[in-house]
């Protein structure tokens, strides 16, 4: 699974600056802009994202997690292998998004002690995880868009840490994920091709005292 990830919106990287500029202009004067998290991002926090609009990428603010019926617990991940079979996800299969990140965190239990690791693709400053989103209602009747991050089998380098990892899209697959339409059969074929474990190598850093 993916329970936390990292994106520093203050980083002097053109790709990140562009996303921040877009959401800053779009939500100027809106209190939600102050809620957008920078740094280590936790479930139920608001995060920068990319959604499709008129066959163009549009920066957006989404909240991580889809609430269960009791609205107290949230689903934060979806298994890529079963998104077309599970009603919760198949019903929003056209609501696909990209979640920008600079790394994600996983924990490994060793002798009763949990060790935290920061993981990212090699030679990659910013990457995009595959996500699905939908309109949700929070307590008090507030409507926002919530998202889940898709997961897949782990890359070879991190199998000893966790048995799942977020779907990290290759550059050439990002727009296919966002915009491609078709029959369930066609989408199933597409997803089996692009929603796969990362094959470009992973960098793993042990996080001390955290």
Active site residues per annotation:
2, 106
Q: Is 57 helix (H, G, I), strand (E, B) or coil?
A: strand
Rounded Cα–Cα distance for residues 190 and 173 (Å): 10
Please give the full DSSP string across 83-96, using - where no structure is assigned.
TTTSHHHHTTTT-E
Q: Tokens for 77, please give them.
A: 């991940």
CB atoms near residue 88 (< 10 Å): 14
């Amino acid at each position: 699974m993916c329970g936390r990830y990292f994106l520093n919106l203050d980083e002097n990287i053109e790709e990140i600056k562009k996303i921040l500029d877009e959401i800053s202009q779009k939500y100027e004067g809106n209190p939600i802009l102050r809620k957008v998290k920078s740094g280590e991002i936790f479930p139920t926090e608001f995060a920068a994202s990319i959604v499709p609009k008129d066959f163009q990428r549009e920066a957006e603010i989404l909240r991580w997690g889809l609430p269960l019926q009791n609205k107290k617990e949230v689903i934060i991940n979806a298994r890529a292998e079963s998104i077309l079979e599970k009603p919760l996800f198949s019903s929003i299969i056209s609501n696909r998004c990209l979640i920008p990140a600079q790394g994600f965190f996983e924990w490994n239990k060793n002798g009763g002690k949990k060790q935290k690791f920061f993981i990212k693709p090699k030679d990659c400053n910013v990457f995009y995880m595959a996500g699905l989103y939908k309109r949700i209602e929070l307590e008090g009747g507030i409507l926002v868009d919530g998202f889940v991050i898709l997961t897949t089998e782990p890359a070879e380098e991190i199998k000893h840490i966790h048995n799942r990892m977020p779907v990290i899209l290759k550059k050439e697959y990002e727009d296919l994920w966002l915009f491609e339409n078709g029959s369930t059969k066609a989408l199933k074929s597409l997803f089996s091709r692009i929603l796969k474990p990362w094959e470009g190598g992973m960098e793993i850093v042990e996080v001390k005292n955290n």
